[in-house]
Structure 1
Amino acid sequence: MTDHVRDLASVREATDRLLTAAGKLDNATVTQQSRLPGWTRGHVLAHLARNADALVNVLEGRPMYVSAEARDADIERDAPRGLDAHLADVRESADRFQDTGAAPADWSRTVELRNGVTDSASRLPFRRWVEVELHHVDLGIGYELEDLPEEFVEREIDFLAQRFAGRPDVPPTRLTDGTRAWSTGGTAAEPAVTVTGGRADLLGWLAGRRDGSALTTEGGALPALPPL
């Protein structure tokens, strides 16, 4: 069972790591290109702040975003700000998320996110943890997939394998790091492809952060994954 209290603590630790690292930037470097196409580091930081507020909305029973257009406009509006404004916004929005998470609530209830996606409220802290960890990597400031906490990497591989499970556009696939295996893709009885590699590379491929060139395959080519 998901432990939302423990995950909230992990979110706080990950946010502190990100803020410490981002605090070493300056107003010039925050405007430079991140690892996400078309986004500067300012876009990434603005998205992190607005995502925290969006998850507060979900926890409090409101739509995650007013609209997709409003979400994108808010990020574009905030991206050009100076570093101090970004750091304050990420910190303050993270505190609002933590405060909301600490309030008494029915964590077993089903909540709605974007695009009609639903989940248990208890999984929202882990979803926020994903945002903070992966976007820290996306900033391109020295934090790599290999630096992610081991527990996080294993759980995120689990999460993404489940996300692609049953997809007819992804062939039945077995993932393994040599010690553990995950199944994803279509529903055939036997996997069409086995993908082997280190956990950081498996996660990077599943999350669209690496092209999979460090992975090896048996039974076919590396499957093409739909965007997250």
Structure 2
Amino acid sequence: NADIARDANRPMLVHLDDLRTSAFRFNSAAAALPKDRWDYVVAMRNAVTERAARLPFRRLIEVELHHVDLDVGYELTDLPADFVQREVEFLTSGKFAGHADVPALTLTVPGGHTWHTGRTGEEPTTVEGTPVALLGWLTGRSDGSDLAANAPLPTLPPLG
């Protein structure tokens, strides 16, 4: 977090160089990782752990969602559909599943997929919308006004 705060105001060309350099380092390290090491658990920030095999997708999440955050015309609706589907799946089955601060939720795409997440043992709030609308709300990038729900939408914890 301190690095982000310190470096946020650097010139765009410096950010681009840093992005390219870190992508090269990541790709080199990933290519050198023996196949039997992809099941290792890696310590992330904020006491989060993750399987090494999930790191490439976690990096893609950072790139795609922060691209939206730049406010340069790349919107949630520009995200690739397969990315949106996979990220909603990740958030519902991993990040928010069983989370004490997330009430039971059933998220539904009309005529499509349904996900269950949050606390267990209680009647879920049903939330319906497009995958992009669900992703926007789950990631805190929208207020959920484009979703339909059978109760007021809860405030979700930050992804940090």
Distance in 2, Cα, partners of 1:165 & 1:79: 32
Which TM-score applies when normalising by structure 2? 0.90
2:75 matches 1:152: no
The match for 2:48 is 117
Distance in 2, Cα, partners of 1:182 & 1:153: 13
Mind listing any 5+ residue stretches in structure 2 that lack a counterpart? none
Q: CA deviation at 1:138?
A: 0.3
Distance in 1, Cα, partners of 2:69 & 2:134: 16
- 1:142 is matched with which residue: 49, 73, 76? 73
3-state SS, counterpart of residue 57 of structure 2: helix
2:119 matches 1:186: yes
Q: CA deviation at 1:166?
A: 1.2
Distance in 1, Cα, partners of 2:75 & 2:8: 23
Q: Which has the higher contact order (CA 8 A, sep 6+)?
A: 1
Distance in 2, Cα, partners of 1:146 & 1:137: 9
Q: Deviations over 1:90-148 (max 9, x none)?
A: 11111111111111321011111112211110001111010000000000111111111
2:142 matches 1:225: no
Which TM-score applies when normalising by structure 1? 0.64
Aligned residues of 1:174 and 1:191 also touching (Cα < 8 A):
no
2:118 alignment partner AA = G
Q: CA deviation at 1:86?
A: 1.9
Equivalenced residue count is 155
2:34 matches 1:101: no
By percentage of residues, which structure has more helix?
A: 1
